Structure 1
């Protein structure tokens, strides 16, 4: 877990060590303006899924599946729940979860252990013009890395774009940040 609190907006743990950045937020009035990182409450993910449809269900599901694909010696997510579904429903993006889903520009600090993941190549390619100080090395058409800033780019959190095989590859890239 990271000692530095976020000054960005989104869902989750303000001290999250794993931060995912996406270009959009749920189209719900209560989330139209988030001046900070807001922890979700139990049941709130299902509320967002019900109100916003299958696209958001996929984002949350893929996020939880990624956590369970990570090396358990490096990350403790899979020790907190029996399945990724249980983790999603009981811990994901809540206070103390060490996870965040952010709707703003990444704040990079290479001196810490935070993992930053930008979901979506199109979004990632627009961020340098918005002020992101990263040096991305594209590994292929979908994945990029800036090891110095512990920043990764991957396909959007959707089953078709970030399938199980690509999730495993992303988990390997995250592990490689510490090697």
Structure 2
């Protein structure tokens, strides 16, 4: 039976258990998860927050993280600007990035979700509107969601991974985790 941990990774935390930086110490997974033998199945950038899966089974880890399996990952994305139909349609078709064309995304504009406050807060500009997207991708390139939204003129302000496959953040506060046996 494999162990699977659903962690709500806080903003500013590295997706690893140790920090090899010689600079000021940075927050790592070990600040939140004291479970031996589990490793992240994929990554979530330091400036992103939300669902990170950790497991103790190599096959499960590969199935979750490897782009060949195209496991759906859903993000709640606060963007700068108004999400017009042209931008959403471009995301749905796939976007050309420096490393090639992305697969089509499922995307819709949404009302601001009921999320926890971020520390530090997202910058607010009176003269520039912002909006929220629910965006699902099935690949995992480096900083892909941020690059996709920027490519259609909607820079990302806040990025929260909400769901991977059937696993969600529902009921898990930042820095907290839930274990599932599968």
Query: TM-score normalized by structure 1?
Result: 0.29
Task: Report the structure, 1 or 2, having the larger helix content.
Answer: 1
Larger radius of gyration: 2
Which structure exhibits the higher relative contact order, with contacts defined as CA atoms closer than 8 Å and separated by 6 or more residues? Answer: 2
Task: Report the structure, 1 or 2, having the larger strand content.
Answer: 2
